[in-house]
Amino acid sequence: MGRLAILAWAFLGLLLLSADAQPQRRVALVIGNGTYAEAGTLANPVNDALDIADKLRSIGFEVIEGNDLGKRELERSIGAFSDALQGAGAGLFYYAGHGLQVDGRNYIVPVDARLDVPVKLQLEAVPIDEVLDIMEQQTKVSLVFLDACRNNPFARSLSRTATTRSAKALAGLA
């Protein structure tokens, strides 16, 4: 999805928010992962995330941002986002980088992920459901934009070592 389309959807969401008589805090978590240890480099995620973060700030969002985050830093950013959402009227999550879908669950991939065997997926990647659950519990309005690369550099290694249907890797996000 291009940045213009993302901003158009964000604007639509903001129009819905502006229907309230009182302005409410809006908080965004913006992540751009492009420099992967095991999956090479993606050219655009960091620049796209920087542009989105700047635009969101310009329209009144409090922005928590991170680029080229490893698993620990990604989890800390999600924790900071959760804390910042308390009392907010809306939350927005934007992620650009590698994403995976395995058995119907979507994951975002930290730059230090080592996904050479399926069992590591749960240890190395972050389920998007974790972020969605946080947002649903703490805000009235949740906007989520996943600009995830659909070519899965881990699919071959995950599929090659999979021995059960539950470990079969799919090519991208649904």
Distance (Å, whole) CA 61 – CA 90:
9
Count, in order, helices (H) and strands (E) of the chain: 6, 8
Task: Please list, in sequence order, all residues whose beta carbon lies within 8 angstroms of the beta carbon of residue 85, skipping any fewer than 6 positions away.
Answer: 27, 91, 134, 135, 138, 139
**Average pLDDT of the residues in 118-127:** 86
DSSP state of 104: T
Tens-digit pLDDT profile for residues 88-103: 999 999 999 999 888 8
| Residue 139 DSSP one-character state | -
First-to-last C-alpha distance (Å) of the chain: 13
Whether residue 8 has pLDDT greater than 50 = yes
Q: 23: how many CB neighbours lie within 10 A of its CB?
A: 10
Q: What pLDDT is attached to residue 31?
A: 99
Give the pLDDT confidence of 11-66 residue by residue, as tens digits: 656 555 554 545 799 999 999 999 999 888 999 999 999 999 999 999 999 999 99
Cα separation of 144 and 113, whole Å?
22
Confidence of residue 125 (pLDDT cuts 50, 70, 90): very high
Please tell me the predicted confidence (pLDDT) of residue 6: 62
Domains of the chain are: 3-17+24-167 (3.40.50.1460)
pLDDT value at position 159? 56
Mean pLDDT of the chain: 83
